[in-house]
Amino acid sequence: MSLPRRAFNRLAVQALALSTPALGGAGCAGPATLPARSTPRGATAGLVILAQFPGLPHAVPRRWAQRRFAQELPDYVAEMSYGRVRLAADITETWHTLPRPVSQYAISPRNLEVDKSRVRALIDDALNAVDRDVDVSKYDFTAVFLGARREEYGMIGLCAWPGMLGWSTEESLKTARGQVVRGGVAIFCYQAHLGTLFHDVAHILGGVRDGKRLVPCLYDHDLQARPGPLRDVFLGAIVNMGFWDPMSCHFHKWEIPPPGLSSWTRLRLGWADPGRVRVVKPAERTELLLGPLADASSDVLAVKIPLSASTYYLIENRQPVGFDRYLPGHGVLVMYADDMIAECRRGQAPVKLVAADPALPRLEGAAFDVPQKTTFVDEKNRLRITLLEKGAGGYRIRVEPLAR
């Protein structure tokens, strides 16, 4: 269930407007007892550690973390996975005060400048705060939810593992008692947008294979490290997928929910049925009906056109269905993917959108549509993709080789 714009705004304002009595033990260093209601069997289970800092008062209620991690994030994951994944979260009953002030954990907002030792210190202290009372090893991911603003901590959200601290399969995070932390750990300020929560949890859900994160950031890390106002710099870094995937943008606009996922990210997460991805040979002429990616009933969710052992095109139909209502536009997207590229660095990316209208900034004009922007041509690979018509069931498209 996707949240309508008004509900998304109203819930955020109401939750953060609640005052200190709703904290239910903020500042208490008592047991980290979890609620009696446990994570449902068969669900992907998350542990959310409420962590605050000495000398930094806040009025963030526990119910705000509950709403984010136990309602909104599971709803988003359920829709993106076509109901395949049930996400559930246990939130610590109390806020745990870390041993050091926020200034000793604070980091740069730019990924390439982050002091990893500070990230590790915060994670170790948060895990050790609950180590005695919580079996952290039973969870698929852990999130440390801070009673601090982005301006105080430095970064509004990050994935520490697999992420800032690396992702070697030969290493693992452990608590002081030796409990192994499964999956990974993310850190969020309480202001974090739902799209940011998903972005960093998705790094964990995707995991690591052959030394590579299956679900990396899709914005350019080098561009994100440039000096300047944070939001302006970040918008200059979403050169690969624009606002068409929260792994690129986190969100399109702050006041609305995040957009849906691209077919590339859904496939990497294992959430899209490969049987409904039509593989088309570039040397053959093929016509097919491409349904909306967000519609679970679509017979064809995406089209894959292999170009080499590692490179291919993906074609998808993005329509205002569910969370895809929050995209910058709608129509057919064409993506070029290269599975040999692991991360978005030095101008390279594992997936890049083709811009139907390059004149619009940040790939906002990426979507092809009838009757104006109907054709994509790749001269190098001798390939043409044409939108023939749009009907109630989707777009009828043709893939064909260019004449020699």
101 contacts 126 by C-beta, under 8 angstroms: no
Token pair, residue 78, equals: 């359920």
- pLDDT surpasses 60 at 102: yes
Average pLDDT, the chain: 91
Q: Please choose, from the candidates 10, 44, 69, the residue with its C-alpha nearest in 3D space to the C-alpha of residue 197.
A: 69
Region of poorest pLDDT, from 30-39, 59-68, 98-107, 256-265: 30-39
- pLDDT surpasses 50 at 148: yes
Please report, for residues 159, 218, 390, the alpha-carbon distance to residue 353 in angstroms, rounded to integers and kept in the order given.
Answer: 24, 11, 21
The gap from C-alpha 292 to its chain's centroid, in whole angstroms, comes to 20
Amino acid at residue number 33:
T
Average pLDDT (83-104) is: 98
Region of poorest pLDDT, from 7-11, 40-44, 115-119: 7-11
- pLDDT surpasses 60 at 16: no
**Domain residue ranges of the chain, discontinuous segments joined by +:** 5-214, 264-401
| Element at 48 (helix H, strand E) | strand 44-52
- pLDDT surpasses 60 at 32: no
- pLDDT surpasses 60 at 78: yes
- Helices 73-80 and 194-206, packing angle to 10 deg: 60
> How many CB atoms within 10 Å of residue 361?
11
- pLDDT surpasses 50 at 120: yes
Please report, for residues 134, 151, 365, the alpha-carbon distance to residue 92 in angstroms, rounded to integers and kept in the order given.
Answer: 9, 24, 44
- pLDDT surpasses 50 at 13: no
Q: Could you tell me whether strands 185-189 and 141-146 are parallel, antiparallel, or unpaired per DSSP bridges?
A: parallel
Amino acid at residue number 363:
L
Query: Which of the four pLDDT bands, split at 50, 70 and 90, describes residue 377?
Result: very high
Region of poorest pLDDT, from 170-174, 188-192, 218-222, 251-255: 170-174
User: What is the CATH topology of the domain spanning 5-214?
Assistant: Collagenase (Catalytic Domain) (3.40.390)
The burial of 23, by beta-carbon neighbours within 10 Å (0-12 exposed, 13-18 middle, 19 or more buried), is given as buried
- pLDDT surpasses 70 at 3: no
- Supply the pLDDT for residue 11: 47
Query: Which of the four pLDDT bands, split at 50, 70 and 90, describes residue 42?
Result: confident
By percentage, how much of the chain surpasses pLDDT 90? 87
Pairwise CA distance, residues 147 & 363, whole Å = 35
- Supply the pLDDT for residue 61: 98
- Supply the pLDDT for residue 23: 29
Pairwise CA distance, residues 273 & 332, whole Å = 19
